Structure 1
């Protein structure tokens, strides 16, 4: 009767609600969402792609069913290659919705999709007290079958499911919902999914009726209701927990940033090498950057014609130490070579100010000072003595080799040269 199927429409209603109520400036920076009676985790699998959600929790009394489905909630390979700034944590609990658990208090959104009709009236009273009196979410979405619509379902006799304890009419559902809202300090709006055929909507309503409960502003949140002396109740058993890779984690951010830096450095190096080769053949084109490349080949400092990025005052000193562009300094190369071997290596020094012109590098680091701080902590990256440039061996770069720890972060595989295992350089120069 319905396209898409009714269960998908119910889940899509929640997804659309999350999209329409994304965190705004001055409000929640990210959402905490719990699905009570999550069953096969279908709704959770849809919500995990919404990066405004930082904590996604599923609760169901059937632990065996949760164990069969939790693999679908794990991160994808793209979540490691392109980690989000938002941090997502998913947890699955086995437990009854009639029991209290402190780990579910104060969520931004609690959903209960086609659950309450499986409860006895006595359990329903406990459910109301747990959700609205103990969890105290900012918003609760509760759906249940509309008994008035049953006459339009072909071949149906009795309830829609053998485990249903009741199926309410619109008046019965609204009476219960308004009573709960009044008792616990909420307001409720009624809607639904699965519309009736043309001309019968007013007579029978939606196939699934939905109540959207919003906590009144004068009602304190659970963080204000429960003090530190209140007993912490932990009735649920944690079956599954996974934290997605996030740029909020310094280790992940550092690996991703280093991969971006090395990839961009390879791109800049290739441009400089082409210009230097052209200059050595006497056929250097007089294009922008050609003069700088010639100066670089002569061991002179390269100055940028203009600064393409906006830097704060704290970055001016760092930018002033080296101009934008690529250059070679034999003095630093000799100093670095003396530490490793008697032979003299030639180095290409890529100023941090040049690397920071990359939108990705600047967005990830935030400032030149932060960029230098991250690179100084990375043992696979060699900096100049004053910390203003990344020092790369020219012969190693000719082979396209660089080292990024784990090789799973950033877009290093998109460089013009395939990454190979680089030699282990000491952190100090």
Structure 2
């Protein structure tokens, strides 16, 4: 049947729900009769939704595709502020479950025609009377459209218990509104051929129900219940990574600080030495980084205060030079040690010039607080700057260590090198 529509009819039904979500931005959504979770797969990308739930009586159907609802790798690499929890339950729409009360949107797409008329009555009581969502979208086949199909007369699916005309669907919907305090608007998807739309209507007829009560009244109603009922079986649940999680927020903050501080340090070294390192060239999407680097240059040119963590007075802008400290060993002889040079990147520059950092941390004091207890970040003694080792110093030390090893008389070897073969002996 879908082949005669473009796009296919099932996609038109799903798109109708998606368009409703875009307009109304519900935070809690449940799809009744979710089957293999195809609608949920689309809705999970609309992150105005904070709780997305699927219910189906056939648990095996859910299990076929439920892991496709798991977060993707990009959700972990670039977590957003949005919160999303997904839950899947096995259960009947004719049974009450307190976990599904108070939702913003309930969808029932091509479901009620699979119920007996007695179960449809119970469905109405559970969905509209017990769950009391703000909005309900119900779609069901329109039997008046069936003669247009190139097939024998009968129901569209062998499991359908009935297929309503537009008048029958309207009668049921208006009765629901009268009993449970809703209003309804009628529409559908699947246009009839030209000239026949008025006569037969849409292929799938849709009722969009809106509760006449307010959300506050709804919450008070739920609070009056003496006992909660939990009749569904939870099959799957997952929380998407979110910056509302303090551990994730701290990890992202630290990563951003180290990334931009290293960029600033390298840019300053390039300006000082005239050598360019293309390893840290900016991506087009990181335009704010250029402003960060320019601001860091201006700040480092004015930076001249002492940083006790490095144990030395700054002699060049933005850099803590190495100095020589002396102490007495166990035999009363003085020995010396050179302290490592550091490049100081002020937190104030990072916070004020990098929009993502300021948005994530909220304030400079919050950023400093997060970094102070993190072992990955080295701060100055007063916590005002990130300290990074000068790469030039590291390269010089590697060369000195290499020279010292050669002067000591020991051979310089490369781990993993193959022993040289005396091939002339085998000639």
Q: If the TM-score is normalised by the length of the shorter chain, which range does it land in?
A: 0.7 to 0.9
Distance in structure 1 (CA, Å) of the matches to 2:75 and 2:393: 29
Q: Aligned pair 1:353/2:344, yes or no?
A: no
Distance in structure 1 (CA, Å) of the matches to 2:176 and 2:266: 68
Aligned length: 354
Counterpart in the other structure of 1:386 = 382
Q: How does 1:412-423 map to 2 (within 5 A)?
A: none
Q: CA deviation at 1:360?
A: 1.1
User: Are the equivalent residues in 2 in contact too, given 1:275–1:293 (CA < 8 A)?
Assistant: no
User: Are the equivalent residues in 1 in contact too, given 2:89–2:233 (CA < 8 A)?
Assistant: yes
Q: How does 1:266-305 map to 2 (within 5 A)?
A: 266-278=262-274, 300-301=304-305
Question: Which residue of the other structure, out of 160, 178, 203, is the alignment partner of 1:182?
Answer: 178
Counterpart in the other structure of 1:249 = 245
Counterpart in the other structure of 2:284 = none
Aligned structure 1 segments of 4 or more residues deviating by more than 6 angstroms: 287-292, 331-334, 396-399
Distance in structure 2 (CA, Å) of the matches to 1:219 and 1:260: 40
Distance in structure 2 (CA, Å) of the matches to 1:158 and 1:382: 75
CA RMSD in angstroms, aligned pairs only: 2.6
After superposition, the C-alpha distances for 1:194-238 in whole angstroms (9 at most, x for unaligned) are 010111000000000000000103686442112265211000000
Counterpart in the other structure of 2:290 = none
| TM-aligned CA distance change 1:270 to 1:130, over 3 Å | same
Distance in structure 1 (CA, Å) of the matches to 2:184 and 2:297: 69
| Alignment gaps of 5+ in structure 1 | 23-29, 280-286, 303-325, 335-340, 400-429
Distance in structure 2 (CA, Å) of the matches to 1:327 and 1:258: 21
Say which structure, 1 or 2, has more relative contact order (CA 8 Å, 6+ apart): 1
Counterpart in the other structure of 2:37 = 41
Distance in structure 2 (CA, Å) of the matches to 1:333 and 1:101: 73
Structure number with the higher helix fraction is 2
| TM-aligned CA distance change 1:346 to 1:129, over 3 Å | same
Counterpart in the other structure of 1:122 = 118
**Please, what TM-score do these two structures have when normalized by structure 2?**
0.78
User: Quick check: 362-371 or 189-198, which moved more?
Assistant: 362-371
User: Are the equivalent residues in 2 in contact too, given 1:51–1:84 (CA < 8 A)?
Assistant: no
Larger radius of gyration: 2
Q: CA deviation at 1:291?
A: 7.6
Distance in structure 2 (CA, Å) of the matches to 1:391 and 1:248: 28
User: Are the equivalent residues in 2 in contact too, given 1:136–1:221 (CA < 8 A)?
Assistant: no
Counterpart in the other structure of 1:307 = none
| Alignment gaps of 5+ in structure 2 | 276-293, 307-316, 326-335, 396-427
Counterpart in the other structure of 1:236 = 232
User: Are the equivalent residues in 1 in contact too, given 2:31–2:106 (CA < 8 A)?
Assistant: yes
Q: Aligned pair 1:2/2:8, yes or no?
A: no
After superposition, the C-alpha distances for 1:165-206 in whole angstroms (9 at most, x for unaligned) are 100000000000010011100000000000101110000000
User: Are the equivalent residues in 1 in contact too, given 2:323–2:339 (CA < 8 A)?
Assistant: no
Distance in structure 2 (CA, Å) of the matches to 1:223 and 1:78: 36
Distance in structure 2 (CA, Å) of the matches to 1:207 and 1:143: 10
Distance in structure 2 (CA, Å) of the matches to 1:397 and 1:361: 29
**Please, what TM-score do these two structures have when normalized by structure 1?**
0.78
Distance in structure 2 (CA, Å) of the matches to 1:231 and 1:180: 25
Distance in structure 1 (CA, Å) of the matches to 2:302 and 2:250: 33
User: Are the equivalent residues in 2 in contact too, given 1:196–1:206 (CA < 8 A)?
Assistant: yes
| TM-aligned CA distance change 1:350 to 1:118, over 3 Å | same
